[in-house]
Structure 1
Amino acid sequence: MSNVKTGLRYSEDHEWLDTDATPAKVGVSAIAADSLGDVVHLELPEVGAELTAGVACGEIESTKSVTDLYAPVTGTVVAINDEVVDNPALVNEDPYGAGWLFSVEVTSEGPLLSAEDYAAKNGGDL
């Protein structure tokens, strides 16, 4: 089973949100990374982009498929993780650390699950 990190909140679409970080950080869960397979390319929102919770804001391409990346919150993108853009494999290697995707100044949150609820719904381990 895939690890679900406690202290984060999760969208139904497998994005995580760390509101303890300022600005908030966004990434994809280990469950999503495992199901995607080897991530080979990321298309992330640009700095300054206005995001709407639940709306596609980018793409993740793996050796298996291309899937949309959804914004877990409404707000403005303030930073992109250039390391993960240059090395998309970080999403698979360290989805909750070096594999974070972007930071956002949050104006409102979409529906989010606790780590416990997300793990129970998706078969992950805390």
Structure 2
Amino acid sequence: MEREIRTSTVSANIKRNRLDITLRGAISKKEAERLYTDIRFCTSDLEPGFAVITDLTEANLGHLAAIGTFRKITKYLAEKQVGPVVRVVGQASIIFRQIAKLSSETSYKPRYTKTREEAEQLLAELAEKVAVA
């Protein structure tokens, strides 16, 4: 019996109204489905306009079989009225290009940074602009 190691994580920061997703390794269809379930669970406590940081720096490949599930995830986030989406890509990888292609089909436009710190700073700047408006 083969056991799949779950290395990707999803968590909600209720105080910041933010969803944090970290993808690691090669993402199989089974792993993508688990991520989709975790995302639905975590977003249930977030308010519309919630921010998302997706860290792709440790991911290296998304299996073709997982593309449909990644589409479901992006559609679900749009339906939940996602706010700013920031993807941490480090040195652009294959999975970055795969997810960037899928993102072109959604109603929201993610922003890209090289580090988690840059993502945090970008979200803080966006929140400040909203507060001033």
Q: TM-score, normalised by structure 1?
A: 0.25
Query: Whose Rg is larger?
Result: 2
Greater share of helix: 2
Q: TM-score, normalised by structure 2?
A: 0.25
Greater share of strand: 1
